[in-house]
Amino acid sequence: VLDAHLALSPFLLGEAFTVADLNVAGAMYASWFFKVDYSRWPHIKGSLDRCFTRPCALRARKPRE
């Protein structure tokens, strides 16, 4: 369901990054970081990549990783 929804727009609520994207990405961070195979869900993978490679996210991840 999530992958189909993300096929319609780059972010959960449309064209802009929102706290909804942050919440979903935060819940999925470990799977993304440990490179779970998202090949069945390419739109989820793209969404996570967009969220975790934002400049602020890169700065926040740096001390943690």
CB of 21 closer than 8 Å to CB of 47: yes
| pLDDT tens-place string over residues 12-26 | 999 999 999 999 999
**Predicted pLDDT of residue 33:** 95
Query: Alpha-carbon distance 58 to 64, whole Å?
Result: 10
**Predicted pLDDT of residue 65:** 86
| pLDDT tens-place string over residues 6-64 | 999 999 999 999 999 999 999 999 999 999 999 999 999 999 999 999 999 999 999 98
Q: Which long-range contacts (CB under 8 A, 24 or more apart) does 12-19 make?
A: 12/47, 17/50, 17/51, 17/54
**Predicted pLDDT of residue 21:** 96
pTM value is 0.88
